[in-house]
């Protein structure tokens, strides 16, 4: 299964690592650090001197600008695919959170501009402004272009690799220009502790960019594999076996996880793109890695041109689609469509090799018998399991010789092989987007709890909301952080101004605040 997306590295060796409670504590710590990075600068900014109450709206605008700047800065950390960030949540969840918070930051900056323009329309109507204000205008234009291209990349036919590099470079330019604009045009940046904190966050963002594009690619040379064989498994599906290169380190991963692979194929690729695939082999297989790659795009249509001896750089592992990360004794019901079999092949092989006392039902949908990858292997694993693993093939275009299930996987078929009882079972789904969405809806309508449904994302750039509740929790976290930012911005404005005193009629400077702001924001031209 190919996962289209952009990375991380876990420098460890061959067997599958165990899930530990420390991941949960790390998740809580990371969320706390992220919230502190967004709210901390606002708290420090509020320690500056008090300004007239008439600048209350301006202070809200400044607070929104500072919050937007911090969201942009921390987005570099989220996008860098650090293993210690992605492992507790899953890379799909981190990427989805990154995109949602980017929209929140963009909205905060637009509102920042809208409020300041309400106070001084010249910020929008004047062609020329003082250069520190012109920097703010440039930052907003760059950020707007970046957001539009990111959302409509496919429609604009922008090459992914070029977009990925440009996206981060433009993001860095926005960060530097916006920081310079805020530093030179806002009194809210006056406290030195605030300047130091903001500078440190931006330095971390810059380091994340350098790490992901310069340092890490060089370190990943330790994880170079060599192509051992390339074999056609079924129409449009290729099996690629990899062995660790001489002196190289082997990847340590859990069954069902995926990694990023960079193929260096002389005469085929000019530069070699980075692609993500589920590792179809099991950690219990110590002779290297195995991939099952379906021809889905420009690169994968050339996978048959890969030669034994070609060098492949591996970056991973990633993902939480593994039974090793979800403890329990439930029967495992795997529902696969097409090339979505790859994580299940890995998990079933692990269960059989380790003789784990777990019952597994695999419902596997394909068009015809000739389209089924791993047909013989799956039968062998079922026989070797002593009845613990059952494999049911379902064909939508079966010929007259097919004696198995025909049609599509639906709730009637699922209940048939679950003996009519869906309780005590955990459901795992992997396949094309429409297939996955249909299976999730089918199970939910049948009364299966969200926590009992796990699904893999075919495409990280457009990762779906995970059925197991991670997506729901992620959405709730985004909304909670956005609400906390709004409250903090309001508190910042109240603390920075004598607004409450002015409302009580005790502030002698209130009537001068607005004109003071206008002169400060955009002095009239002489």
In a domain, 184, yes or no: yes
For the chain, the residue count is 526
Given the structure tokens 């309508």, which residue do they identify?
A: 445
CATH of the domain at 87: 1.20.120
For residue 85 the two structure tokens come to: 């960030």
Q: Which pLDDT tens digit goes with each residue over 249-290?
A: 888 999 999 999 999 887 776 555 788 899 999 999 988 999
Distances 498 to 190, 264, 521 between C-alpha atoms, Å: 18, 64, 20
Per-residue pLDDT at 23: 77
Listed residue (319, 320, 348, 318) closest to 333, CA to CA: 348
Q: How far does the chain reach from its first CA to its final CA, in angstroms?
A: 65
Domain residues for 100? Answer: 21-219+472-521
Do 397 and 376 lie in a common domain? yes
Q: pLDDT over 70 for what percent of the chain?
A: 87
Write down which residue in 426, 455, 484 finishes a domain: 455
* Other CB atoms within 10 A of residue 297 CB: 13
In a domain, 275, yes or no: yes
Q: Is the peptide bond before 501 cis (omega within 30 degrees of 0)?
A: no
Buried b (16+ CB within 10 A) or exposed e, 316-354: bbbbbbbbbbbeeebbbbbbbbbbbbbbbbbbbbbbbee
Per-residue pLDDT at 458: 59
Per-residue pLDDT at 247: 74
Quick check: 516 pLDDT over 70?
A: no
**CA–CA separation, 106 and 100 (whole Å):** 10
Do 241 and 93 lie in a common domain? no
Q: Which pLDDT tens digit goes with each residue over 26-64?
A: 889 999 999 999 999 999 888 877 888 788 999 999 999
What is the value of pTM for the model shown? 0.82
Given the structure tokens 């002489």, which residue do they identify?
A: 526
Do 417 and 508 lie in a common domain? no
CATH of the domain at 335: 3.40.50.80
Do 372 and 426 lie in a common domain? yes
**CA–CA separation, 291 and 404 (whole Å):** 27
Write down which residue in 261, 294, 318 finishes a domain: 318
Quick check: 467 pLDDT over 80?
A: no
Do 213 and 301 lie in a common domain? no
Quick check: 227 pLDDT over 90?
A: yes
What is the DSSP pairing of strand 274-278 with strand 2-3? antiparallel
Do 176 and 31 lie in a common domain? yes
How far, rounded to the nearest angstrom, does the alpha carbon of residue 79 sit from its chain's CA centroid? 7
Quick check: 499 pLDDT over 70?
A: no
pLDDT band at 502 (very low <50, low <70, confident <90, very high): low
Please tell me whether residue 385 adopts helix, strand or coil conformation. coil
Helices (H) and strands (E) in the chain, counts: 17, 13
Buried b (16+ CB within 10 A) or exposed e, 131-144: eebebbbbbbebbe
**CA-CA-CA-CA torsion for 262, 311, 277, 222, nearest 10 degrees?**
-80
* Other CB atoms within 10 A of residue 436 CB: 21
User: For residue 2, what is the enclosing H or E element?
Assistant: strand 2-3
In a domain, 172, yes or no: yes
Please tell me whether residue 69 adopts helix, strand or coil conformation. helix
**CA–CA separation, 366 and 407 (whole Å):** 9
In a domain, 7, yes or no: no
Do 292 and 355 lie in a common domain? no
Do 108 and 241 lie in a common domain? no
In a domain, 2, yes or no: no
**CA–CA separation, 275 and 243 (whole Å):** 18
- Extended strands (E) in 193-270: 224-234, 237-244, 258-264
User: Are 436 and 429 within 8 A, CB to CB?
Assistant: yes
Q: Which pLDDT tens digit goes with each residue over 161-212?
A: 778 788 888 988 998 898 888 888 766 677 788 888 888 888 999 999 899 8
Do 60 and 178 lie in a common domain? yes
- Specify the number of domains making up the chain: 3
Mean pLDDT of the chain: 84
Do 294 and 350 lie in a common domain? no
In a domain, 4, yes or no: no
User: Are 345 and 456 within 8 A, CB to CB?
Assistant: no
In a domain, 6, yes or no: no
User: Are 41 and 194 within 8 A, CB to CB?
Assistant: yes
Mean pLDDT of 329-334: 92
Q: How many CA atoms lie within 13 A of 88 on its CB side?
A: 15
Q: How many CA atoms lie within 13 A of 336 on its CB side?
A: 28
* Other CB atoms within 10 A of residue 41 CB: 27
CATH of the domain at 305: 2.40.30.10
State the Cα angle at 34 between 474 and 275, rounded to 5°: 65
In a domain, 517, yes or no: yes
For residue 514 the two structure tokens come to: 């607005």
Do 307 and 333 lie in a common domain? no
Do 209 and 239 lie in a common domain? no
């Amino acid at each position: 299964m190919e996962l289209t997306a952009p990375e991380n590295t876990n420098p460890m060796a061959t067997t599958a690592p165990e899930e530990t409670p420390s991941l949960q504590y790390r998740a809580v710590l990371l969320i706390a650090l992220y919230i502190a990075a967004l709210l901390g600068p606002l708290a420090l900014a509020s320690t500056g001197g008090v300004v007239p109450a008439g600048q209350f709206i301006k202070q809200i605008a400044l607070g929104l600008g500072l919050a937007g700047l911090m969201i942009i800065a921390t987005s570099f950390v989220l996008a860098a695919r650090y293993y210690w960030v992605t492992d507790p949540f899953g890379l799909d969840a981190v990427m989805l959170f990154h995109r949602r918070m980017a929209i929140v930051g963009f909205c905060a900056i637009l509102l920042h501009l809208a409020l300041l323009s309400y106070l001084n329309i010249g910020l929008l109507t004047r062609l020329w402004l003082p250069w520190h204000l012109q920097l703010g205008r440039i930052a907003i234009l760059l950020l707007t272009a970046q957001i539009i291209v990111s959302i409509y990349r496919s429609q604009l036919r922008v090459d992914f690799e070029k977009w990925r590099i440009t996206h981060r470079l433009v993001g860095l330019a926005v960060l530097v220009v916006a920081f310079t604009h805020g530093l030179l045009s806002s009194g809210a940046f006056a406290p030195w502790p605030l300047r130091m904190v903001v500078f440190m966050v931006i330095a971390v963002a810059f380091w994340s960019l350098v790490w992901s594009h310069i340092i890490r690619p060089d370190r990943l040379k330790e994880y170079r594999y060599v192509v051992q064989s390339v074999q056609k498994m079924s129409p449009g599906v290729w099996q690629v076996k990899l062995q660790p290169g001489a002196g190289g380190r082997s990847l340590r991963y859990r069954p069902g996880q995926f990694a990023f692979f960079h193929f260096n194929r002389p005469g085929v690729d000019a530069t070699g793109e980075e692609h993500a695939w589920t590792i179809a082999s099991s950690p219990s297989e110590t002779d290297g890695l195995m991939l099952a790659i379906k021809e889905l795009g420009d690169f994968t249509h050339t996978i048959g041109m890969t030669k034994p001896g070609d060098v492949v750089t591996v970056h991973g592992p990633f993902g939480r689609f593994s039974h090793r990360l979800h403890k329990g004794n439930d029967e495992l019901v795997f529902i696969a469509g097409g090339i979505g079999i790859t994580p299940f092949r890995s998990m079933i092989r692990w269960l059989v090799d380790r003789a784990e006392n777990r019952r597994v039902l695999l419902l596997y949908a394909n068009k015809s018998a000739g389209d089924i990858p791993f047909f013989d292997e799956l039968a062998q694993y079922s026989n070797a399991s002593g009845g613990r693993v059952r494999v049911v093939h379902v064909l939508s275009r079966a010929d007259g010789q097919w004696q198995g299930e025909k049609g599509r996987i639906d709730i009637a078929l699922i209940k048939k092989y679950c003996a009519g009882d869906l309780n005590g079972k955990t459901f795992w789904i992997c396949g094309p987007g429409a297939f996955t969405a249909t299976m999730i809806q089918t199970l939910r309508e049948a009364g299966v709890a969200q926590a009992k449904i796990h699904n893999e994302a075919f495409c990280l750039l457009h990762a779906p909301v995970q059925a197991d509740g991670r997506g729901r929790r992620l959405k709730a976290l985004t909304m909670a952080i956005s609400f906390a930012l709004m409250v903090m911005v309001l508190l910042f404005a109240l603390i920075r101004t004598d607004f409450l005193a002015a409302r009580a009629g005790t502030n002698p400077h209130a009537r001068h605040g607005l004109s003071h702001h206008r002169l400060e924001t955009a002095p009239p031209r002489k």
